[in-house]
Amino acid sequence: MSVKYIPVQWNNNKYYYDAFMLAGVVGFLWFFLHVSPEVLSHERPINPQVHNARAFGACAFLMLSIILAIGPLARLDRRFMALLYNRRHFGVMTACVAMTHAGYILNWYWAFSSSNKYEALLFSNTSFGQFAGFPFEIFGIVALICLLVLAATSHDFWLRFLGAPLWKRVHYLIYIAYISVVAHVSLGILQDQQNHVFTAIFLVSAIVVAGLHVLAVLHERKAGDPAGAVNTEGWVTVCKPDDIVEARARIAVLPNGDRVAVFRLEGKLSAISNACSHQNGPLGEGKVIRCLVTCPWHGYQYRLTDGQSPAPFTEKIPTYRLAIQDGVIMVDPDANPPGTYVEPVEIPS
């Protein structure tokens, strides 16, 4: 990494993002640690170590819920895009907060065990055959491992080294982490409650995250129009040129499931893959600036004519051939190799 990879380029947006995030974590912990035990539904007085552990655990759950909510919110409303740009910073800090929670638990409950505290964590409760008293710790361990893997591979070096498809699959672990946290909290902390204030907050958070993902899926299906009729050469109908706004695109779903983004710029049409090579961001939702389409997720840019990023960047995406027949845009469903130049199609007067 130190020899071949370019260091992270920090800017004011990242500093503001991290500062605001850190302030939020500190504010949440302060609030949690200073509210009365009755509001937090503690059944009995607890010592400072357990109180601290619960504070960091609740903070990690909230942060993980926000992380999973950012994606669908950005799909539903572009104003949330600003939160998406540096979401990996959010993930790294969440892993740190979760590690602190685990440290408090280990150093309190098993600090004076005759066995190694890590072994005691795994073997102190083996009641897997019952619901009440089920060893919920195992779900916390799974969630923590997932968060650490995501934090360790969050740097763009691993994205380039593993390739976007594999890196994206690895980062689907965020869903396993969230499900594990929900199970960890449900089977653990919620069993030690006198009333249901925290229970309600927990359930509402999980339902909101799941609901936002369902809405985002429905929105995604509407975002791409299915390709229309197929002519004798196998080309498919997209739309009329006037249906595309200047410096914007119309996204169409091809018969093979791929998405193509057809852009209109200065009276000409060009078509590129809708998937950014960085993290498969929706290029068709980006705006064209100086003949370069900018990915709305992380700002990667590509030329419309050949799908290549401007120097010194080397990313490239597939392009598509276009034609206008009877006033309708037609696209060849067979993509060109990434970086292939295609002459833009001029729109008839």
**251 plus 170 within the same structural domain:** no
**pTM given for the model:** 0.72
**Contact call for residues 79 and 55 (beta carbons, < 8 A):** no
- For residue 332, tell me if it sits in a domain: yes
What pLDDT, in 10s, does the model give residues 201-219?
788 888 999 999 999 888 7
What pLDDT, in 10s, does the model give residues 50-109?
888 888 998 999 999 999 999 888 878 878 877 877 788 899 999 999 999 999 988 888
**183 plus 37 within the same structural domain:** yes
- For residue 32, tell me if it sits in a domain: yes
Give kind and range of the element (H or E) at residue 219.
Answer: helix 197-223
**127 plus 217 within the same structural domain:** yes
Q: Which two tokens stand for residue 181?
A: 């946290």
Name the least confident of 156-160, 169-173, 285-289, 311-315.
156-160
Q: Can you list the positions of beta strands (E) in the chain?
A: 225-226, 236-237, 249-253, 259-265, 268-273, 288-289, 292-294, 301-303, 319-320, 322-325, 328-331, 345-346
- For residue 74, tell me if it sits in a domain: yes
Q: Count structural domains, the chain.
A: 2
- For residue 279, tell me if it sits in a domain: yes
Q: Is the pLDDT of residue 3 over 50?
A: no
**258 plus 189 within the same structural domain:** no
List the domain range (segments joined by +) for residue 281.
236-346
**27 plus 54 within the same structural domain:** yes
CATH number, domain of 289, equals: 2.102.10.10
